[in-house]
Amino acid sequence: MSETEYRVTTKVADLRGIYFCAALIASDGEHEERNLKAGGDETGMMTATRSFFNQRADTWDRTGAAERKAVSERLIHGLGIKPGSKVLDVGCGTGLIIPWLLQEVGAEGRVTALDIAERMLWIAREKHERPNVEYIHADISHTPFLDQSFDEVVCHNCFPHVSDKETAVREMFRVLKPGGRVSICHNERRQAINAMHHGIGRDVGGDMLPDETEMKAMFTRAGFQEIMLFNKSDAYMLQAYRCAQRRVSRGSGKDRFLPVKERKAEKAEIQLDG
Ligand SMILES: C[S@@+](CC[C@H](N)C(=O)[O-])C[C@H]1O[C@@H](n2cnc3c(N)ncnc32)[C@H](O)[C@@H]1O
């Protein structure tokens, strides 16, 4: 499909307006249908993770310390997301970071909030129904978006819960535009996150954030470049870019493609100790 823009045309929504089934059309008229169907089994989303978060959706906003949320707000504002950007909020939950993303992208930008747990999405949508926010019920490993749809992919406090991380990272790469960036962020350091999940046990007891070597290797395998990772006392951030490519003719008919740095890496401006 030549057009990079995606548009959800068939909005098969539940009463709360969450899109379960999406047919996608590019502006050149080509259609692409992707694996989103109403109901659980057909989506492959009848997972323990989905039901764990669905069960906690109603009380989710009462959990989490205020100071941790303040760290999250600083992290999101520190990303330097440009006005007008199209941002994918992966594992949006009840929409904690949506207002901060909206402040960054402005009226010309767009936030697409995606979650595997529909009850989380219902609450997010009730709280933040705006013309430039849409809610998609999908697993990040199999999304309905066309290639190169987003400027930014932000995954806040979600990555450890993604069951097929390797596929998810490849999907993040696929939906990013050349020059686009992924940010995996947490309002705690890796060791604290993993200890917390271990302590909760049950369906999230094994949901771990891999160590630095494994994370960097996974993002490299997916094609990302300029991978930056910090893991400090009150925050964790991995950022990586989908670099554009330029064709270099070798005269033999076998062209090579080299990465082009489209923009300078912008490090999160959060103050960290440790
Ligand atoms: C700990 S909550 C964080 C929610 C929100 N980002 C926040 O910071 O408050 C993790 C969220 O990720 C979602 N999630 C887990 N695995 C997912 C997947 N494979 N695809 C999409 N969402 C997923 C869960 O349903 C849950 O809402």
What are 5-55's pLDDT values in tens digits? 444 444 455 545 555 544 443 334 444 444 444 334 444 555 889 999 999
Q: What pTM was estimated for this model as a whole?
A: 0.82
Say how many Å lie between the CA of residue 266 and the centre of ligand 1.
25
What confidence score (pLDDT) does residue 34 get?
45
> What percent of the chain has pLDDT above 90?
61
Cβ(193) to ligand 1 under 6 A? no
Say how many Å lie between the CA of residue 42 and the centre of ligand 1.
20
The closest residue, in CA terms, to atom 27 on ligand 1 is 93
Cα 182 from Cα 239, distance rounded (Å): 6
Q: Give the DSSP letter of residue 143.
A: -
CB atoms within 10 A of CB 23: 16
Question: Relative to the CA of 72, which ligand 1 atom is closest?
Answer: 8
Tell me the average pLDDT across 116-132: 92
> Which mutation among 45, 139, 158, 193 tests ligand 1's pocket best, with the greatest number of atoms within 8 A of CB?
158
Say how many Å lie between the CA of residue 13 and the centre of ligand 1.
20
| Residue 136 confidence (pLDDT) above 70 | yes
Amino acid at 208: M
Cβ(120) to ligand 1 under 6 A? yes
Split at pLDDT 50, 70, 90, the class of 201 is confident
> Which mutation among 62, 161, 208 tests ligand 1's pocket best, with the greatest number of atoms within 8 A of CB?
161
> Which contacts qualify for 161-164: CB closer than 8 Å, 24 or more apart?
161/49, 161/53, 161/91, 161/204, 161/207, 162/91, 163/47, 163/49
Cβ(140) to ligand 1 under 6 A? yes
Cα 169 from Cα 209, distance rounded (Å): 13
CATH number for the domain formed by residue range(s) 40-260 = 3.40.50.150
